[in-house]
């Protein structure tokens, strides 16, 4: 068995286990909040769900920007770092929120 930095399955609550399996996690450098990276497919599915609401331009902007900043302190995702083992241990203790990032963010 290869060792990984992922939290053990028992650390995650049932409902989030499927969502968080094999995810890339990013940690906000400002406040330490952990986010998971939404795939382009998931983002597209989310966008389709919103189409029925006919968002105005400002509403649309709010919706888009929510995926590009820290939920907690609103730092931009471009400043996020790849989550480390100790960050992932904290994932079990709070809601992990999705972000959409460019491919290179968090790979440094
Ligand atoms: Zn933050």
Neighbours of ion ligand 1 (CB under 5 A): 28, 30-31, 33, 70, 72-73, 75
For residue 24, the CA-to-ligand 1 centroid distance in Å is 17
Q: What six digits make up the tokens of 65?
A: 């920007």
Q: What six digits make up the tokens of 70?
A: 């820290």
What's the rounded mean pLDDT across residues 40-63? 93
CA distance 87 to 84: 5
Q: Is residue 52 within 8 Å of 94, Cβ to Cβ?
A: no
For residue 65, the CA-to-ligand 1 centroid distance in Å is 14
What percentage of the chain exceeds 70 in pLDDT?
75
Residue 20, pLDDT > 70, answer: no
Instruction: Tell me what the pLDDT averaged over the chain comes to.
Output: 81
∠ CA 50-51-52, rounded to 5°: 90
pLDDT at residue number 6? 54
pTM for the whole thing?
Answer: 0.69
According to DSSP, residue 93 is labeled T
């Amino acid at each position: 068995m290869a060792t990984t930095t992922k939290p053990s399955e028992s650390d995650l609550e049932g409902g989030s286990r499927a969502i968080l399996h094999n995810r890339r996690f990013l940690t906000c450098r400002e406040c330490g909040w952990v986010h998971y990276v939404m795939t382009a497919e998931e983002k597209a599915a989310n966008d389709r769900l919103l189409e029925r609401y006919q968002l105005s331009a400002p509403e649309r902007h709010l919706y888009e920007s929510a995926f590009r900043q820290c939920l907690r302190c609103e730092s931009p995702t471009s400043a996020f770092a790849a989550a480390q083992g100790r960050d992932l241990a904290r994932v079990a203790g709070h809601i992990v929120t999705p972000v959409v990032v460019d491919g290179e963010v968090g790979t440094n």
